[in-house]
């Protein structure tokens, strides 16, 4: 929109775009005054800026709101230049107006969005640090100051490596580069302990999640940092308590074992004594495995390995195979006792009672219609087997214990070539180890 005015401020020319904006015909230009169209809140500033341009005889750029012929205020950016005679007499102005209403609204919306983003970052309950594509820190919040011990002014503009422990600092740019080539929202260091460096040089255990943010200035990375020092202290305390609990449980089992030894001493029940002691040892081994996971679950593979002493006497005579499966504590104890009974029977009467027999333990997970564990104990190469005339305590413990604690279906098949025990038990959702 191009216009000219004389020294008194009256319009001398308005181009078609500007006439359309104000709804003025060519004939109305000499009597048209644009001053009333200025927004009252902008009039003083525009007038002052124009007077400065006249005083300094220089061009002026000024922004203001003007009412169009529809009665709407639009934001116009005006660039005007005063004209003077050779004697320095002011003759008028020539100017160009550009309607920047939409861009102003977009910029205002962007500023509002940025303000909301900064407010959200500032209010976040964890330390927040944003870096640009070069790893330079461009934004931190109050919690980040607390985590790292720096004032934010000390971090803004510096490389993120200032917050990385010295032993990892040289390799950190390589990790940043790899992330930049495939940016995804993800936790850092999954399965590893992470530490950050504080201003005083100390290291603090942290959890870090990173998210890519695409901006007009390129890819930014927003990191959420949580100080987990208190959690680590709690975990250490919990581990100490669990170790103490495990120690006391094992001591209790040892006391029971001692009482049993004293009870059976001097009696002909030495075989019963050995069986009782072996069952206590099987429970103790299961307790050890459960303690490693704070009694949340037990690895079936480890349970089988420890129960069957695979790394010991029967290393070459016992084979196992199956997927990683986690058992609940009550399931683990029952399976440990069952495996102990099966092993004891194999050593005394079955495949491990000679030098040639072998034992195979295989398990699988099925999903139809719900998750189930299918475990098969099979013996081969031992003495000929026949079904016993009555069930012994070991068989009752296997069948009854598993049926009670695992809701399992147990089949004991005394085949001529060796015992086959089949266990079919339900598994809870999420039991399959990752």
Residues 365-389: tens digit of each pLDDT: 988 788 889 999 999 998 888 887 7
Predicted TM-score of the model (pTM) = 0.44
Residues 409 and 269 placed together within one structural domain of the fold:
yes
Q: Which strands sit side by side in the sheet containing 60-67, from one edge to the other? A: 11-14, 2-6, 90-99, 73-84, 60-67
Rounded CA separation 289/329 (Å)? 10
Residue that wins the pLDDT comparison between 392 and 89: 89
Q: What is the pLDDT of residues 142-165, one digit of tens each?
A: 999 999 999 999 999 999 999 999
What is the model's pLDDT at position 267?
56
Domain total in the chain = 3
What is the model's pLDDT at position 13?
94
Residue 48 has pLDDT above 50, yes or no: yes
pLDDT band (50, 70, 90) for residue 107: confident
Tally DSSP H helices, then E strands, for the chain: 12, 18
Residue 222 has pLDDT above 60, yes or no: yes
Residues 312 and 213 placed together within one structural domain of the fold:
no
What is the model's pLDDT at position 291?
66
Residue that wins the pLDDT comparison between 342 and 276: 342
Residue 12 belongs to some domain of the structure: yes
Residue 24 has pLDDT above 70, yes or no: yes
Q: Tell me, what CATH number does 242's domain have?
A: 3.30.565.10
What is the model's pLDDT at position 42?
94
pLDDT band (50, 70, 90) for residue 234: confident
Q: What is the pLDDT of residues 279-292, one digit of tens each?
A: 667 766 776 776 66
Cα dihedral 325/330/332/336 (nearest 10): -150
Residue 431 has pLDDT above 50, yes or no: no
Residues 222 and 235 placed together within one structural domain of the fold:
no
Residues 79 and 145 placed together within one structural domain of the fold:
no
Residue 67 belongs to some domain of the structure: yes
Express as a percent the part of the chain with pLDDT over 90.
40
Residues 23 and 88 placed together within one structural domain of the fold:
yes
Residue that wins the pLDDT comparison between 364 and 328: 364
What is the model's pLDDT at position 255?
61
What is the model's pLDDT at position 80?
94
Cβ proximity of 421 and 377 under 8 Å? yes
Residues 220 and 240 placed together within one structural domain of the fold:
no
Residues 287 and 408 placed together within one structural domain of the fold:
yes
Q: Tell me, what CATH number does 90's domain have?
A: 3.30.450.20
pLDDT band (50, 70, 90) for residue 356: confident
Residue 284 belongs to some domain of the structure: yes
What is the model's pLDDT at position 430?
52
Q: Could you tell me which of 398, 317, 409, 312 has the C-alpha nearest to residue 360?
A: 317
Residues 194 and 243 placed together within one structural domain of the fold:
no
Determine the average pLDDT of the residues in 313-335: 84
Determine the average pLDDT of the residues in 188-206: 87
What is the model's pLDDT at position 347?
85
What is the model's pLDDT at position 240?
76
Express as a percent the part of the chain with pLDDT over 70.
85
Residue 312 has pLDDT above 70, yes or no: no
Boundary (domain end) residue, out of 44, 66, 99:
99
Residues 279 and 396 placed together within one structural domain of the fold:
yes
What is the model's pLDDT at position 45?
93
Residues 223 and 235 placed together within one structural domain of the fold:
no
What is the model's pLDDT at position 333?
79
What is the model's pLDDT at position 262?
59
Inter-CA distances, 244 with 17, 249, 290, 389, Å? 87, 9, 14, 46
Q: Could you tell me which of 222, 225, 204 has the C-alpha nearest to residue 214?
A: 222
Residue 294 has pLDDT above 50, yes or no: yes
What is the model's pLDDT at position 59?
93
Residue 205 belongs to some domain of the structure: yes
Q: Could you tell me which of 423, 348, 410, 413 has the C-alpha nearest to residue 382?
A: 348
Q: Which of 66-70, 86-90, 293-297, 419-423 has the lowest mean pLDDT?
A: 293-297
Boundary (domain end) residue, out of 227, 259, 282:
227
261 SS3 class: helix
Residue 422 belongs to some domain of the structure: yes
What is the model's pLDDT at position 243?
75
Residue 214 has pLDDT above 80, yes or no: yes
What is the model's pLDDT at position 109?
83
Residues 222 and 259 placed together within one structural domain of the fold:
no
Cβ proximity of 314 and 352 under 8 Å? yes
Cβ proximity of 421 and 398 under 8 Å? yes
Rounded CA separation 49/335 (Å)? 89
Q: Could you tell me which of 281, 404, 384 has the C-alpha nearest to residue 334?
A: 404
Host domain of residue 145: 120-227
Boundary (domain end) residue, out of 204, 227, 250:
227
Residues 276 and 364 placed together within one structural domain of the fold:
yes
């Amino acid at each position: 929109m191009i216009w000219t005015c004389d020294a008194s401020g009256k319009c001398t020319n308005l181009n078609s775009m500007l006439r359309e904006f104000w709804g003025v015909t060519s004939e109305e230009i000499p009597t048209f005054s644009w001053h009333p169209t200025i927004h009252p809140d902008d009039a003083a500033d525009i007038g002052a800026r124009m007077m400065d341009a006249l005083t300094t005889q220089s061009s002026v750029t000024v922004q203001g709101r003007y009412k169009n012929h529809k009665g709407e205020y639009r934001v116009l950016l005006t660039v005007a230049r005063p004209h003077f005679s050779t004697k320095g007499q002011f003759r008028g102005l020539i100017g160009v107006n550009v309607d920047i209403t939409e861009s102003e609204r977009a910029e205002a919306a962007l500023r509002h969005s940025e303000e909301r983003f900064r407010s959200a970052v500032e209010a976040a309950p964890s330390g927040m640090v944003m870096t640009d594509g070069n790893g330079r820190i461009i934004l931190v919040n109050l919690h980040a100051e607390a985590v790292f011990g720096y004032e934010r002014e000390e971090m803004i503009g510096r490389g993120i490596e200032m917050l990385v422990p010295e032993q990892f600092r040289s390799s950190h740019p390589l990790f940043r580069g790899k992330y930049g080539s495939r940016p995804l929202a993800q936790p850092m260091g999954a399965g590893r302990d992470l530490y950050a460096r504080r201003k005083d040089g100390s290291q603090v255990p942290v959890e870090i999640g990173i998210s890519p943010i695409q901006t007009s200035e390129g890819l930014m990375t927003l990191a959420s940092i949580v100080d987990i020092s208190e959690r680590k202290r709690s975990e250490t305390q919990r581990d100490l308590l669990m170790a103490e609990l495990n120690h006391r449980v094992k001591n209790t089992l040892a006391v029971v074992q001692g009482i049993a030894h004293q009870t059976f001493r001097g009696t002909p029940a030495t075989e019963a004594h050995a069986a009782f002691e072996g069952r206590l040892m099987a429970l103790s081994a299961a307790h050890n495995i459960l303690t490693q996971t704070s009694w949340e679950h037990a690895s079936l593979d480890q349970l089988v390995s420890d129960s069957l002493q695979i790394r010991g006497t029967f290393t070459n005579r016992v084979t196992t195979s199956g997927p990683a499966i986690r058992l609940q504590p009550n399931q683990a104890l029952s399976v440990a006792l069952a495996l102990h009974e099966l092993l004891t029977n194999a050593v005394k009467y079955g495949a491990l009672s000679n030098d040639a027999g072998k034992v195979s333990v295989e398990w699988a997970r099925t999903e139809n219609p719900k998750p189930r564990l299918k475990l098969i104990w099979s013996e081969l190469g031992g003495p000929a087997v026949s079904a016993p005339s009555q069930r012994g305590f070991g068989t009752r413990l296997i069948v009854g214990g598993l049926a009670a604690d695992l809701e399992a279906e147990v089949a004991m098949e005394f085949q001529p070539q060796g015992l086959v025990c089949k266990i079919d038990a339900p598994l809870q959702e999420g039991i399959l180890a990752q």
